Amino acid sequence: MNKTLTFLIVTLLTASALPLTATADASQDIPTNAAGTGIHDSLVAALTHANLVATLQQPGPFTVFAPTDQAFTDAGIDLNDFDTPEENETLTAILLHHVVAGEVGASDIKDGMMASTANGDKVKFSITGSGDVLVGGATVTLADVQASNGVIHVIDQVLTPPVDIPTTAQSTGIHGSLVAAVIQADLLPTLQGPGPFTVFAPTDQAFTDAGIDLGALDTPEGKETLSDILLYHVVGAEVPAANVSDCMSADAANGQPLSFTVGDSVMVNDANVTMTDVITSNGLIHVIDKVLMPTDTPNNIPRTAQCTGIHDSLVAGVIQAELLETLQGPGPFTVFAPTDQAFTDAGIDLAALNTPEGKETLSDILLYHVVAGAVPAANVSDCMSATAVNGHPLAFTVGDGVMVNDANVSLADVSTSNGIIHVIDKVLMPTDTPNDIPRTAQCTGVHNSLVSAVVQAELLETLQGTGPFTLFAPTDQAFADAGIDLAALDTPEGKQTLTDILLYHVVAGNVPSTALSECMTAEAVNGQSLSFTVGDSVMVNDATVSIADVNTSNGVIHVIDTVLMPTDTPNDIPRTAQCTGVHNSLVSAVVQAELLETLQGT
């Protein structure tokens, strides 16, 4: 807006000093007004020579950028040189390149704006810091000369219709390597075609920085590689700078995506756009400072997350926890990415965590969502575990869907340049025990009968509860040895019996092996007693503990080799006497007299 205002002020000042020999007459058409200025004789003569006067006398409206006589002299245009149909066609194209259909007043012109001209090409407008308005390379010296069928803007240069993309690139002086590569890859006819194309044009310095040696690529295979690289810089449509938005993606001519970042500057992939909207006859050129290497994944993990539109909280958290550079690193990483809704549901307040201690907590939470290495969905299996970057385990459930800990994977395998994102619906809270008791038992591979029995007895929800519980977990072999037939117990009475058996294996509370002592007893959830023997091994009733202290999210599991049958008297006579503390002599005598087996009998 400021540039436009400045332009209008400059225009008014310029108008007062312009050496016109006649006053513009808004009731007269454009050619008549041009003929009356005294500085557009060459333009009027050219219009007459090209038989365009009648065209510009039509109702229009038209906008004409009118070069002065001096501009024609400077351009070296001699109408005597245009005496063949082909030459007159060229003159017509030049003149119509100064005409825009419709009325474009000074107040309509914005910096970077483009307009189509009557010859089918385009012109680009720019406004300098001092307020000068340029159309192409010409300066507007007087604006808004009103005519009956449009408006005239006086300019100080003749506008030359643009040429094709390769010719334009060749003329810049900084795209010699690009043009040489296009020729070597046999793409010159393609990029001279009608298009339209948009070319992101790396400079010669960009080619040097990329270490591209055209000599080394001058083989059939090399040309194929070079062609792929070059076509990754081409979009098969016009993409003006004004149409580029942050997180936008466009398919390049080689079939792979380009990604755009719009902020203080514009980037395509990792290259900065240093000049935009260079108009050509068959498209646009945007100059860039890097060669783009073809890829299916132009964005890294943080940028990919940023562009989903549902991971703003995650990205903000990553920045706050100072993990951005880490997750922009080469990786590969696998990130389980909670949505914004997941952050809301978890009640995570980033502002409250913006302290040194809070950042440490936040970092631990976020790193619990990251696995070093690429873990695609195809590699995830039921009961699989993976160690997160913070050192804690993640647990996977694969069924009708996929879960990581208690979160559902809602979208899998979002590929990035440095790894994979799986979108999840919950924030994962760091833990050493992501699985509860039933799930832990299910994943051992030796407790299928136990888990089936828990489900059949309708105890699953109970053992998935907060607990804590201690479960003495008989193996599948223990169930087989006990002759327990779950099918035979699939009746109301059978389920009651099964429930009693299973609850006799559960103690309310967390009882690690270090808390067990010789002759200790504990009450099972079914109300009956369990008895412990601690020696070279640990026994509960008549079962040996084969694996102790399997920690879970809601308690601890001790694996045992025998199914415990509910009883009020888990100990026989010798063991009961041994545990009284006042019958040691009696027990020793029984052993010495070889009566132990007799008194352990039924």
How far apart are alpha carbons 116 and 125 in whole angstroms?
Answer: 11
- 15 pLDDT more than 60: no
Q: Is the peptide bond preceding residue 566 cis, with omega within 30 degrees of 0? A: no
Instruction: For residues 34-58, give the mean pLDDT.
Output: 92
> In 10 A of CB 53, how many CB atoms?
18
- Read off the pLDDT band of 3 (50, 70, 90): very low
Instruction: For residues 516-521, give the mean pLDDT.
Output: 95
Q: What is the pLDDT of residue 596?
A: 86
Q: What is the pLDDT of residue 19?
A: 42
pLDDT tens digits, 293-310: 999 999 999 999 999 999
Token pair belonging to 580: 């009284």
User: Where is 422: in which H helix or E strand?
Assistant: strand 419-424
- Read off the pLDDT band of 25 (50, 70, 90): confident
Instruction: For residues 401-428, give the mean pLDDT.
Output: 97
pLDDT tens digits, 549-597: 999 999 999 999 999 999 998 988 988 888 888 898 898 898 899 888 8
Strand partners, 397: 403
Do strands 234-235 and 197-202 pair parallel, antiparallel, or not at all (unpaired)?
A: antiparallel
> In 10 A of CB 510, how many CB atoms?
15
Listed in order, strand segments (DSSP E) in 55-101 are 62-67, 99-101
Instruction: For residues 259-288, give the mean pLDDT.
Output: 96
Helix (H, G, I), strand (E, B) or coil at 421: strand
pLDDT tens digits, 360-373: 999 999 999 999 99
Helix (H, G, I), strand (E, B) or coil at 535: coil
The residue that leads in pLDDT, 491 or 80, is: 491
Position 355, amino acid: T
- 528 pLDDT more than 60: yes
Can you spell out the DSSP letters for 166-222?
HHHHHHHSS-HHHHHHHHHTT-HHHHTSS--EEEEEE-HHHHHHHT--TTTT-SHHH
Strand partners, 468: none
Q: Which of 366, 308, 360 is nearest to 339 (CA)?
A: 308
Percent of the chain with pLDDT over 90: 86
If you average pLDDT over every residue of the chain, what do you get?
Answer: 93
Cα 314 to its chain centre, rounded Å, is 12
- 1 pLDDT more than 80: no
* Lowest-confidence pick of 219-233, 372-386, 575-589: 575-589
How far apart are alpha carbons 511 and 549 in whole angstroms?
Answer: 9
Instruction: For residues 348-358, give the mean pLDDT.
Output: 96
Q: What is the pLDDT of residue 23?
A: 52
Q: Note the helical H segments in 457-509.
A: 460-463, 476-482, 492-503
Token pair belonging to 147: 């005519």
pLDDT tens digits, 117-154: 999 899 999 998 888 999 988 999 999 999 999 999 99
pLDDT tens digits, 81-96: 888 999 999 999 999 9
Torsion from C-alpha of 127, 132, 136, 139, nearest 10 degrees? 170
**Burial label, 265 (beta-carbon count in 10 A; 0-12, 13-18, 19+):** exposed
Provide the whole-model pTM.
Answer: 0.80
Helix (H, G, I), strand (E, B) or coil at 518: coil
Token pair belonging to 264: 């203080």
- Read off the pLDDT band of 600 (50, 70, 90): confident
Q: Which of 200, 196, 293 is nearest to 244 (CA)?
A: 200
Question: Per this entry, what is the length of the chain?
Answer: 602
- 455 pLDDT more than 70: yes
How far apart are alpha carbons 553 and 405 in whole angstroms?
Answer: 10
Can you spell out the DSSP letters for 119-152?
TS-EEEEEE-TTS-EEETTEEEEEEEEEETTEEE
DSSP-derived secondary structure letter, 353: G
Instruction: For residues 346-362, give the mean pLDDT.
Output: 96
Q: Render the burial of 446-457: b for 16+ CB within 10 Å, e for the rest.
A: bbebbbebbebb
DSSP-derived secondary structure letter, 101: E
> In 10 A of CB 192, how many CB atoms?
16
Q: Which domains does the chain have, with CATH numbers?
A: 2-155 (2.30.180.10), 165-288 (2.30.180.10), 301-424 (2.30.180.10), 437-571 (2.30.180.10)
Strand ranges of the sheet holding 521-523, from the earlier edge strand across to the other edge: 506-508, 469-474, 555-560, 543-552, 538-540, 529-534, 521-523
The residue that leads in pLDDT, 220 or 601, is: 220
Position 199, amino acid: V
